[in-house]
Amino acid sequence: MSELNPFKIAQTQLDEAAELLGLDKGTHELLRWPMREYRFLLPVKMDSGETKVFHAYRVQYNAARGPTKGGLRWHPDETIDTVRALAAWMTWKTAVVDIPLGGGKGGVTCNPKELSDTEKERLARAYIRAAAPHLSVHRDVPAPDVYTTPQIMAWMMDEYEAIAGESHPGMITGKPIPLGGSQGRGDATARGGVYVTREAMKVRNMDPSNTSYAIQGFGNAGQFAATLHTEILGSGKLVAVSDSGGGIYNKDGIDPDKIVHHKKETGRVAGFPGSEPISNEELLELNVDVLYPSALENAITETNAANIKAKIICELANGPTTPEADKILFEKGIFVLPDFLANAGGVTVSYFEQVQNTYNYYWTIEDVHAQLDLRMTNAFQAVNAMAEKKKVHMRSAAYLVSVSRVAEACKLRGWV
């Protein structure tokens, strides 16, 4: 059985890139580990009056190219190693889209589905009271990730400003629009993914109209991918979606707006009228043009990679494919848009949000979309050119582009 610890996987991926790049030993070692990490114990009063103690983390992986940046995940399976891996991937993500930021990530081990809104608010504020000395627009800037929302970002910004005694909207991104959030941040992750899918189709000479697609995971990224695939590419047939409660399939197509509505109403995709049930495993192996893994790590492993039939895999999730599976997919000729390229739209618009906060002047939705498209398309082209030049798969190529950019920044600073 292959290694499934996400941080070990992130280190293995880096090791492969370091070898291909002929990276010197010092730089390689520096990039294998987070430069700073914090653990916090957060005592929070529950609605019942009892105190619950939560374990929380913030990892600042590498700040050579700028302040560290990355989301906060609230999940029952969160560990220091998942946060480290996600922080490493953020470092490569900000580098691949060439924005002047480093990589970081944070999290709280908790089950948000069991927390009331008032408990979530107290947890959000407790996190900021613990982490505030280590956060700022010039130091480290959080954002949403799995199970965290614009509302949670709003409570966090409010707590930070209460501590600071002044306005600091750029200390966190993914805020609601009335509090300094950016137009277009909500669907940015999925939108960026569909932009690079469009570019991959050009490389593969695929006609973007009439493509079939399936979505594994129906959170923020998955839901927006459902509607944006057809909106941006002009048409397309959604044949299956799944979430943690199971999946649904209809070979004749599922109406993207209706399934998003059904999920919002019922909290799950199962039971959607006119569809048949399908397991998460079956969904991944469907014969579709585009597969969007949009849930968590390790969805595609050496166990199922050989059965995957999609032509393009657009990884909206972080870390959905293991290194062993990558090799199998490459040999099968599947075009993989690797996570830190495919889902970089979120942090790109987060960066636009910070820029707008800093000069206190706000862009139109059209400006955000045009700038996002430009950044994503440029990043795709840089990675695809590297893949063709070095004859490696797209993840290796993305690592080569990003790691050399971060290594160059470390060198210019005199660290190595």
Nearer to ligand GLU, 35 or 288 (CB): 35
d(CA 158, CA 412): 37
Cβ closer to ligand GLU: 175 or 237? 175
CA distances from 57 to 142, 249, 298, 362 (A): 12, 38, 22, 32
Residues within the interface to ligand GLU (CB under 6 A):
69-71, 93, 143, 145, 173-174, 318, 343, 346-347, 350
Active site residue 105: yes
What's the rounded Cα separation, in Å, for the pair 339 and 163? 36
Judged by beta carbon, residue 56 or residue 238, the one nearer ligand GLU is 56
Number of residues that this document lists for the chain: 416
CB 163 within 8 A of CB 126: no
Work out how close the CB of 174 gets to ligand GLU at its nearest, in angstroms, rounded to a whole number.
Answer: 6
CB of 161 to ligand GLU, least distance (A): 19
User: Could you tell me the smallest distance in angstroms from the CB atom of residue 93 to ligand GLU?
Assistant: 6
Task: Tell me the closest approach of the beta carbon of residue 252 to ligand GLU, in angstroms.
Answer: 34
CB of 348 to ligand GLU, least distance (A): 8
Phi, psi of 211 (to 5 degrees): -90, 145
Is the Cβ of residue 89 or residue 272 nearer to ligand GLU in the bound state?
A: 89
Name the closest residue to ligand GLU (Cβ). Answer: 71
Q: In angstroms, rounded to a whole number, what is the distance separating the alpha carbons of residues 324 and 312? A: 18
List the catalytic residue out of 69, 93, 105, 237: 105
| Whole-number Å distance between alpha carbons of 303 and 280 | 14
**Packing angle of the helix pair 25-32, 6-21 (nearest 10 deg):** 160
Which lies closer to ligand GLU via its Cβ, residue 239 or residue 337? Answer: 337
From first CA to last CA, the distance across the chain in angstroms is: 36
| CB closer to ligand GLU, 217 vs 236 | 217
What is the C-alpha to C-alpha distance for residues 68 and 100, in angstroms, rounded to an integer? 10
Q: Quick one: which of 325, 11, 303 has its CA closest to 313?
A: 325
For 6, the enclosing helix (H) or strand (E) is helix 6-21
Q: How far is the CB of 367 from ligand GLU (least distance, A)?
A: 18
| Residue 174: DSSP 8-state | S
Where are the extended beta strands (E) located within 200-304? 212-216, 237-243, 246-249, 276-278, 290-293
Instruction: Give the residue from 207, 208, 288 showing the smallest Cα distance to 247.
Output: 288
Q: How far is the CB of 111 from ligand GLU (least distance, A)?
A: 19
Q: Which amino acid is at 90?
A: M
Q: What is the H or E stretch that residue 101 is in? A: none
Residue whose token pair is 């960066």:
351
Alpha-carbon distance 159 to 129, whole Å?
A: 7
Name which of 71 and 222 has its Cβ closer to ligand GLU: 71
- Residues annotated as catalytic are 105
